[in-house]
């Protein structure tokens, strides 16, 4: 993957609906031609010209049958964590005569999971859907823009196919329920951590580092291209979910066997903003050799006596890391 400087800023946020983030497609009116679960798959949709099923052409997305009655089709997605939604990517890749005419999106807050009785509000108005296209659209500028949501409902009119739905936003956790001495993963996207900057993510996105679970393959991590500059290295900066004092760390190179970094360091700083040009970085973990396909665990090696808000993972000279876990107490 390469950096897309043309994409809206909201696409740098976490995809709250992503399957790897814990999102689930709970229900739809109809998925006769292609399963609703495809909407939140991590990989880009593909097209196989010669592939058919007993119901018709195989498509990599959610596709309903042609509607011969009044109404339209819908799908409900449970987000991986409650969050403030900032924008959407409604992707009709490969749907070239069978995409919906337009869509709308509603959202609700139902932490108990009872979305059927929840109050739904519109967060995306009528949006025309072009064939085989990405539609990157921000949420409404309205009182609902800063509300917390747990579910979204995609309406397509009247029927047809959508390849992928991305719901970009910011995780909001209730930190008042966390005890002062409780260890919590401050680098977890599900707690609100976000990778805000890196020097390179040619092969895979930096936010993969923060996803739950171990990486499922080499593409499910952060991997840079081969760094040919002498005495150079690659790096990524993570804004922690909450200011805290780090106690334990795990750096996982799962599936990186011929392309893992030779070594790494971990640094931290404290800042009220993401403008870190003048930040004072301190070393949390000294330079340490790495192994292929291995969970590197640290506790006594972690040196963090003052609260930090951001960390910088430096890898030498380049390569791939699957996950980073940073357990600490909040400050």
pLDDT at residue 3, as a whole number? 45
Tokens standing for residue 11: 């696409």
pLDDT at residue 20, as a whole number? 95
| Residues contacting 158, CB < 8 A, separation 6+ | 67, 71, 72, 73, 100, 101
pLDDT at residue 143, as a whole number? 64
Q: Backbone phi, then psi, for 12, in 5-degree steps?
A: -80, -10
Q: Which long-range contacts (CB under 8 A, 24 or more apart) does 142-146 make?
A: 144/107, 145/84, 146/84
pLDDT at residue 140, as a whole number? 78
pLDDT at residue 2, as a whole number? 41
pTM equals 0.93
pLDDT at residue 168, as a whole number? 98
pLDDT at residue 141, as a whole number? 67
The segments of the chain whose pLDDT lies below 50 read 2-3
Neighbour count for residue 230 (Cβ, 10 Å):
6
Domains and CATH numbers, the chain: 9-171 (2.60.120.260), 176-330 (2.60.120.260)
Q: Cα–Cα distance between 102 and 97 in angstroms, integer?
A: 13
């Amino acid at each position: 993957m390469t950096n897309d400087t043309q994409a809206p800023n909201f696409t740098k946020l976490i995809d709250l609906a992503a399957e790897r983030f814990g999102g689930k497609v709970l229900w739809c009116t109809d998925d006769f031609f292609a399963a609703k679960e495809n909407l939140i798959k991590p990989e880009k949709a593909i097209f196989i010209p010669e592939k058919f099923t007993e119901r018709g052409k195989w498509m990599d997305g959610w596709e309903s049958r042609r509607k011969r009655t009044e109404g339209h089709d819908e799908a409900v997605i449970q987000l991986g964590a409650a969050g403030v939604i900032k924008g959407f990517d409604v992707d009709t890749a490969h749907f070239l005569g069978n995409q919906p005419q337009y869509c709308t999106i509603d959202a609700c807050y139902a932490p108990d999971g009872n979305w059927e009785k929840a109050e739904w509000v519109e967060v995306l108005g009528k949006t025309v859907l072009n064939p085989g296209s990405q539609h990157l659209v921000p949420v409404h500028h309205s009182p609902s823009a800063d509300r917390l949501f747990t579910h979204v409902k995609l309406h397509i009119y009247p029927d047809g196919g959508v390849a992928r739905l991305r719901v970009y936003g910011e995780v909001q956790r209730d930190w008042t329920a966390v005890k002062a001495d409780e260890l919590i993963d401050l680098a977890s996207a599900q707690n609100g951590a976000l990778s805000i900057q890196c020097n390179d993510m040619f092969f895979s996105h930096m936010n993969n580092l923060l996803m739950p679970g171990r990486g499922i393959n080499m593409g499910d991590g952060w991997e840079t291209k081969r760094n040919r500059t002498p005495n150079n290295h690659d790096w990524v900066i993570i804004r922690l979910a909450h200011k805290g004092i780090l106690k334990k760390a795990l750096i996982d190179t799962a599936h990186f066997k011929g392309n893992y970094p030779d070594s790494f360091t971990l640094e931290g700083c404290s800042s009220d903003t993401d403008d870190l040009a003048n930040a004072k970085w301190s070393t949390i973990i000294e330079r340490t050799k790495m192994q292929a396909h291995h969970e590197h665990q640290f506790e006594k090696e972690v040196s963090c006596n003052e609260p930090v808000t951001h960390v910088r993972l430096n890898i030498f000279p380049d390569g791939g890391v699957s996950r980073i876990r940073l357990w600490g107490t909040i400050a």
